[in-house]
């Protein structure tokens, strides 16, 4: 989208050269979300009726100061993105805007102020904004943010200023709400996953023959669902208004995914009703759509429990923030080779005693970090849940019974 936007801006700038010097800040856009089109520039250039005092009248009759600048001269409203060829949509400045409740919800989720969304539509004499205009404005601002991050590299020793808005701000607000609403406690543990690594190795080629990329995550999802069935309090949320704990009857597992726009959590719905390969295929599609920003909002809602794999980039332990209003999140550390005490069955009658049946071996070990909402879940519940997950990781054949 950013490339297409730059081409559009380049075309408009070509129009500026063709039709003379035009102050884009004084041109009223007729495109989606108030975007200035080439025809708008042409009409403004043809009019040529700017007052000599350097002010122009906007659509509502109010005057705004403008001035002509030399090519390449920065102004107060010029961002690094402008210099790089990506001009953000100018924000409106209204005190009151009419919008449907659904539109306001879209704006809230996108981190957009409806009073800043450009619009020419009115209702009962008041500016009226639609959900589509909000989405277009949010996309334009996000594209500008990406251009800012790309263009603002700064000279050596200087600070870079990256706008905190759009998806990044929405994620931040969600994290803040969770952290300062739910008292977090994190339970840490380690588990021998040598059997899990071997099982995945045996099944990987068979899955590829069926067109499926089999990672460890489908095993984790199945193990988590099995553990949630045994410890349902972790598949819950707290309804503070009704003053009741809601234990969810569905098993919708969110998988935290790192994207260029920030952390997103696609949700595998009804994971308890799906097989290993079906979960793998669905997760692959959801993660890909999250990373290319084509994922639907509904595909990231309705989760009952979340898994985050910080071990994919080498992490060991963490304190994951709960995906509110859920009450628990499981963090996976990296799988590493560690010395591990392994118990074996006695091979001969003379092998009596615990010491004779134990040996230290190099094993595949994963670390686990389970954060819980301590208003709902006790520490003992968290420990029991993790112990159940460990059992399925140590003996993945048990998943065949689920």
Model confidence over 9-55: pLDDT tens digits? 444 444 444 444 455 556 666 665 566 665 565 566 556 544 444 44
pLDDT value at residue 120: 86
pTM exceeds 0.75 for this model:
no
Model confidence over 344-377: pLDDT tens digits? 765 555 555 565 578 999 999 999 999 999 999 9
- 99: Cα separation from own chain's centroid: 26
Active site residue 231: no
pLDDT category of residue 110 using cuts at 50, 70 and 90: confident
Q: Is the model's pLDDT at 67 over the cut of 50? A: no
165: tokens are 């808005």
Q: Is the model's pLDDT at 152 over the cut of 50? A: yes
Q: Is the model's pLDDT at 318 over the cut of 50? A: yes
pLDDT category of residue 313 using cuts at 50, 70 and 90: confident
Sequence-ordered list of residues with C-beta below 8 angstroms from that of 356, at least 6 positions apart, any chain: 346
Whole-angstrom distance between the N-terminal and C-terminal Cα of the chain?
Answer: 43
pLDDT category of residue 144 using cuts at 50, 70 and 90: confident
Backbone angles phi, psi at 221, to 5 degrees: -60, -45
Tell me the domain boundaries of the chain: 2-163, 183-344+351-401
Q: How far apart are CA 254 and CA 244, in angstroms?
A: 23
The more confidently predicted of residues 118 and 65 is 118
CATH architecture of 183-344+351-401: 2-Layer Sandwich (3.30)
pLDDT value at residue 113: 86
Q: By mean pLDDT, which of 108-122, 146-160, 178-192, 299-313 is the weakest? A: 146-160
Q: Is the model's pLDDT at 136 over the cut of 70? A: yes
Helix (H) or strand (E) holding 364: strand 358-373
Beta strands in 67-167 (DSSP E): 122-123, 126-127
Q: Give the DSSP letter of residue 308.
A: E
Q: By mean pLDDT, which of 128-137, 194-203, 304-313, 348-357 is the weakest? A: 348-357
Q: How far apart are CA 142 and CA 153, in angstroms?
A: 18
pLDDT value at residue 164: 81
- 102: Cα separation from own chain's centroid: 21
Which residue among 187, 231, 270, 374 is the active-site one? 374
Model confidence over 215-273: pLDDT tens digits? 999 999 999 999 999 999 999 999 999 999 999 999 999 999 988 878 899 999 999 99
- What is the per-residue burial (b if ≥16 Cβ within 10 Å, else e) of 303-322? bbbbbbbbbeeebeebebbb
């Amino acid at each position: 989208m950013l490339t297409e936007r730059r081409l559009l801006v380049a075309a408009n700038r070509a129009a500026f050269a063709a039709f003379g010097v035009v102050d884009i800040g004084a041109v009223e856009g007729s495109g989606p979300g108030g975007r200035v089109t080439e025809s708008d520039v042409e009409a403004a250039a043809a009019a040529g009726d700017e007052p000599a005092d350097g002010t122009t009248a906007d659509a509502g009759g109010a005057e705004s100061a403008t001035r002509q600048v030399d090519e390449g001269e920065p102004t107060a409203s010029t961002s690094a993105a402008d210099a790089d060829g990506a001009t953000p949509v100018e924000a409106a400045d209204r005190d009151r805007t009419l919008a449907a409740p659904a539109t306001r919800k879209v704006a809230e989720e996108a981190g957009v102020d409806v009073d800043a969304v450009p619009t020419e539509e009115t209702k009962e004499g008041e500016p009226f904004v639609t959900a589509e205009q909000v989405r277009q404005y949010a996309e334009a601002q996000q594209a500008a943010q990406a251009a800012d991050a790309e263009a603002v590299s700064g000279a050596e020793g200087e600070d870079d200023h990256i706008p905190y808005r759009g998806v990044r701000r929405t994620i931040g607000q969600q994290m803040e709400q969770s952290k300062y609403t739910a008292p977090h406690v994190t339970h840490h543990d380690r588990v021998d996953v040598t059997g899990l690594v071997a099982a995945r190795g045996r099944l990987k080629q068979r899955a590829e023959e069926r067109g499926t990329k089999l990672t460890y995550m489908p095993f984790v999802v199945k193990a988590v669902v099995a553990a949630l069935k045994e410890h349902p309090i972790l598949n819950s949320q707290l309804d503070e208004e009704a003053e009741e704990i809601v234990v969810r009857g569905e098993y919708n597992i969110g998988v935290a995914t790192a994207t260029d726009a920030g952390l997103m959590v696609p949700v595998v719905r009804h994971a308890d009703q799906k097989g290993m390969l079906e979960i793998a295929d669905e997760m692959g599609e959801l993660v890909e759509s999250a990373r290319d920003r084509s994922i639907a909002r509904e595909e990231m809602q309705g989760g009952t429990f979340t898994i985050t794999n910080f071990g994919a980039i080498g992490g060991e332990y963490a304190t994951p923030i709960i995906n509110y209003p859920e009450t628990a999140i499981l963090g996976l550390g990296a799988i590493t080779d560690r010395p591990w005490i392994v118990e074996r069955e006695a091979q001969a009658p003379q092998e009596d005693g615990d010491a004779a049946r134990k040996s230290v071996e190099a094993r595949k070990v994963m670390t686990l970090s389970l954060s819980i909402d301590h208003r709902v879940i006790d520490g003992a519940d968290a420990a029991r849940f993790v112990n159940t997950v460990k059992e399925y990781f140590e003996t993945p054949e048990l998943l065949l019974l689920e």
